[in-house]
């Protein structure tokens, strides 16, 4: 009988070494109930390869967070004094004993140093293992799960264990219990000329904006670069191509930014940019297929409006590989988590990072394991501490998740209790990023699909205490009691236009809508502000929220009309001041 080899060692030898590992008996590290919507299909193929990411604790994160608050507070002496890459890593690194314990445990299963992929801060260790070995290491059984409504397929488990004395050295291991589906926040797609949702009367000529600025009346039916520059007072501002300011946009789920589409867009909306391009960066094997039929409407939208608004500011498009919906088989290379961790690991390792970065992807907060969400959020904080304004769209399900019960339209928890509850979106709920919702029309009002609400994972951050509590105090007693967490981080922070954006996709002019439109729009205007600051010798704005909530809101236009229905309710109403129905918009 031939021995089965893994990593150069017979499996019998690996198991013998495991028996002598100094750890104690396995103890459950993480366990979930059967996730809502997913059905167990069959045992996972033993040879299917998993790329396991092991997260080690970050004992100095409190110090990093404190530095973030100080560097982002306009009233603090450290405002704008951002950390270097090396200083950030020093505050992200685990204790040496944690690294040694994990490496020793992995060695007991035959993983030598050459098999380990370490993050620069040593807070992540990644290995590749077939399901058969992963099941032994984690004392678990993997299965193929199928999403009954959406058709997605993934390889996961509901519980895994580690030696008890290893628990304090490992925050979590994934992919194990993560059932996030991860999607682009794009609400609708219309062919040019198709009847669309517009105000009853468009009028002719111009409309007066909130600051007395004149906006073309056509912007009430179709949003262009000129509309946004008119509405948000940047019509005559020209950015620099050489002062060091940059804008970054992220792409996931095989969303490719087509260059021919970009040039057609420039030809019609910004002829000065015609012939220009962005820098493409591949992360974890990400590509940018230029076949016209492979063009991604999300990636086209982001790059056309993000880079179109900020030209000639240099732009970077990050394409990160990884797509959770897949068909597992022995022929496939690996299974993936949602890919934020890969992108964060890459961008934090760079010496030069764009000062503003926008992302229009996410998922229901409850589908992302709590420990995983916290770690990803902490790494967003590290980006902020390095002076990056991190922008995310707030989601396109109002207060719900677009997966509400078809009969009742109610939303339910994913913890096996099936409790009726609003569903916030992650990473928008992370307190270290700026979440962007959507408005429509001029004068602007909240748009129904705009994601908003309160996190069930993250407590309300200090900068938001007065604004969020002020809104909750205005609600009638008992409003939505039990449907949301009144102590959670509120979303969104700001909003911009998000309806009927005119783009080119697959060579055709189409209109798209969603908070996917709003995030790159807001990021582009923040990039313009960073451009002006850098040209004056000032540091970039960095993490925006402490400034926005303390004094920056005074430069914003308050939206007091509209709401964001979902889960069988009318959602949260827009009102004077901050609210989770839309928040304020740039002015």
Catalytically active residues, by annotation: 298, 302, 516
Helices and strands in the chain: count of H runs, count of E runs: 13, 31
- 448 preceded by a cis bond (ω within 30 of 0): no
Phi first, then psi: give them for residue 230, nearest 5 degrees.
Answer: -65, -50
3-state helix, strand, coil in the chain (%, to 5): 30, 25, 45
Place of tokens 């940018």: 288
Distance CA 364, CA 395 (A): 9
Compute the distance between CA of residue 321 and CA of residue 148 in angstroms, rounded to an integer: 25
Please report the sign of the dihedral spanned by the C-alpha atoms of residue 97, residue 6, residue 114, residue 85.
negative
Strands 143-147 and 38-43: antiparallel
Strand partners, 440: 445
From residue 525, give the alpha-carbon distance in Å to each of 238, 327, 425, 470, 580. 12, 40, 24, 28, 22
DSSP letters for 30-72:
EE-PPPTTEEEEEEPPTT-EEEEEEEPP-TTHHHHHHHHHHHT
Which tokens go with 498? 């998000």
Query: Strands (DSSP E) along 365-493, which ranges?
Result: 389-393, 425-426, 434-440, 445-446, 453-459, 488-491
**Closest to 542 measured CA to CA, from 61, 310, 123, 552:** 552
* Cβ contact 75:549 at 8 Å: no
Per-residue b or e along 436-470, where b marks 16 or more CB atoms closer than 10 Å to that residue's CB: bbbbbbbebbbbbbbbbbbbbbbebbebbeebbee
Give the dihedral sign, CA 97/98/99/101. Answer: positive
Q: What is the largest CA-CA distance in the chain?
A: 84
Q: Is the peptide bond before 312 cis (omega within 30 degrees of 0)?
A: yes
Specify whether the CB–CB gap between 411 and 567 falls below 8 A.
Answer: yes
How far is the C-alpha of 253 from the C-alpha of 256, rounded, in Å?
Answer: 9
DSSP H or E segment with residue 251: strand 247-251
């Amino acid at each position: 009988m031939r021995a089965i080899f893994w990593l150069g060692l017979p499996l019998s030898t690996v198991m013998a070494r495991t028996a002598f590992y100094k750890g104690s008996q396995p103890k459950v590290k993480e366990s979930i109930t059967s996730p809502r919507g997913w059905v167990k299909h069959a045992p996972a193929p033993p040879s299917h390869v998993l790329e396991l990411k092991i997260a080690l604790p970050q004992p100095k994160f409190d110090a990093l967070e404190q530095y973030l608050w100080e560097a982002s507070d306009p009233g603090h002496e450290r405002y704008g004094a951002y950390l270097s890459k090396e200083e950030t890593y020093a505050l992200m690194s685990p204790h040496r004993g944690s690294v040694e314990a994990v490496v020793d445990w992995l060695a007991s299963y035959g993983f030598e140093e050459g098999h380990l992929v370490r993050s620069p801060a040593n807070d992540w260790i990644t290995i590749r293992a077939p399901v058969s070995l992963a099941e032994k290491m984690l004392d678990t059984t993997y299965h193929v799960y199928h999403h009954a409504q959406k058709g997605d397929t993934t390889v996961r488990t509901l519980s895994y264990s580690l030696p008890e004395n290893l628990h304090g050295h490992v925050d979590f291991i994934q992919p194990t219990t993560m059932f996030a589906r991860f999607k682009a926040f794009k609400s609708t797609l219309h062919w040019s000329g198709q009847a669309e949702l517009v105000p009853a009367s468009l009028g002719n000529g111009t409309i007066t904006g909130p600051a007395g600025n004149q906006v073309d009346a056509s912007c009430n039916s179709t949003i262009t670069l000129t509309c946004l520059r008119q509405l948000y007072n940047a019509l005559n501002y020209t950015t620099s191509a050489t002062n060091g300011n940059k804008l970054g946009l992220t792409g996931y789920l095989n969303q490719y930014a087509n260059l021919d589409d970009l040039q057609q867009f420039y030809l019609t909306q910004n002829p000065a940019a015609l012939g220009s391009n962005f820098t493409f960066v591949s992360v974890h094997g990400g590509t940018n297929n230029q076949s016209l039929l492979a063009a991604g409407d999300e990636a086209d939208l982001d790059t056309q409006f993000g880079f179109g608004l900020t030209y000639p500011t240099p732009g970077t498009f990050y394409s990160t590989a990884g797509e959770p919906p897949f068909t597992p088989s022995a022929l496939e290379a690996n299974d993936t988590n949602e890919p934020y961790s890969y992108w964060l690991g890459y961008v934090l390792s760079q010496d030069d990072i764009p000062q503003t970065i926008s992302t229009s992807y996410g998922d229901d907060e409850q589908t992302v394991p709590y420990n995983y969400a916290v770690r990803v959020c902490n790494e967003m904080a590290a980006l902020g501490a390095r002076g990056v304004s991190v922008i995310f769209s707030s989601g396109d399900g109002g207060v719900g998740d677009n997966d509400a019960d078809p009969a009742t339209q109610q939303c339910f928890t994913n913890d096996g209790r099936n409790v009726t509850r609003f569903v916030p979106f992650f990473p928008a709920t992370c307190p270290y990023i700026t979440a962007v919702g959507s408005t429509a029309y001029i004068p602007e009002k909240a748009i129904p699909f705009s994601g908003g609400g309160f996190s069930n994972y993250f407590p309300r951050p200090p900068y938001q205490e007065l604004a969020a509590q002020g809104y909750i105090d205005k609600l009638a007693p008992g409003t939505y009691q039990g449907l949301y967490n009144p102590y959670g981080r509120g979303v969104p922070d700001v909003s911009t236009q998000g309806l009927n954006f005119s783009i080119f996709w697959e060579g055709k002019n189409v209109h798209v809508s969603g908070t996917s439109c709003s995030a790159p729009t807001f990021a582009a205007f923040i990039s313009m502000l960073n451009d002006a600051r850098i040209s004056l010798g000032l540091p970039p704005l960095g993490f925006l929220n402490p400034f926005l909530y303390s004094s920056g809101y005074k430069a914003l236009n308050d939206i007091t009309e509209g709401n964001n229905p979902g889960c069988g309710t009318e959602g949260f109403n827009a009102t004077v001041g901050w609210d989770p129905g839309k928040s304020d918009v740039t002015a």
